[in-house]
Structure 1
Amino acid sequence: MARYLPIIIVALLMIYCVVEVAQAPPYAVRKMPRWLWATVVICVPLFGALSWLFFGRPNRETLNPTKHEPPRAPDDDVDFLRGL
């Protein structure tokens, strides 16, 4: 049973990463498109899964792309509304 444990761990990691790739927002995935990440994770299980976790997974900056943009309308600007 112990000799099958690494295979089971790699299979579970691959399944976890495939589900995470499928649920990630397309605009937030880094380095490659989602379909290519899914292909890499499935075809090269251990390397692909670890690559997804370290290089492709969305982070805080990619999940909030509008955080650094200026407000679009004057009523969205808090300083403008304070001056009224």
Structure 2
Amino acid sequence: MIRFLPGLLALVLAIYTLVDCVQTPEEAVRGLPKVVWVFVILLFPFAGPAGWWFAGRPKTYALPGRANPNQPPRPKGPDDDPDFLRGL
């Protein structure tokens, strides 16, 4: 059983990294084009995923449905909104 562990670990790491790469927006990928990263992840079992996590993955990116991390937080309610309170 223990001899299958490195292969299983490589497979799980490659699948997880491949899903992360495919879901990342094209314009957010660093280093190489997204298609090249997919091939690198598939061809090099441990080096491909490690390269993606350290050199290809964006540092931050906004996911659909989430606020942009570079924008300041919005007010929570009307009593916290200065524009709304100014209009009273």
Q: Give the alignment's TM-score, normalised by structure 1.
A: 0.70
* Aligned-partner residue type, residue 2 of structure 2: A
Question: Where does structure 1 differ by over 2 angstroms across 4 or more consecutive aligned residues?
Answer: none
Tell me the equivalent position of 2:3.
3
Tell me the equivalent position of 2:42.
42
Tell me the equivalent position of 1:21.
21
Query: Alignment length, in residue pairs?
Result: 64
Tell me the equivalent position of 2:32.
32
Q: Give the alignment's TM-score, normalised by structure 2.
A: 0.67
- Distance (Å, rounded) in 1 between the aligned partners of 2:34 and 2:14: 15
Unaligned 5+ runs, structure 2: 63-69, 71-88
Deviation at 1:45, TM superposition (A): 1.6
Unaligned 5+ runs, structure 1: 68-84
* Aligned-partner residue type, residue 7 of structure 2: I
Cα RMSD after superposing both structures: 1.6
* Aligned-partner residue type, residue 29 of structure 1: V
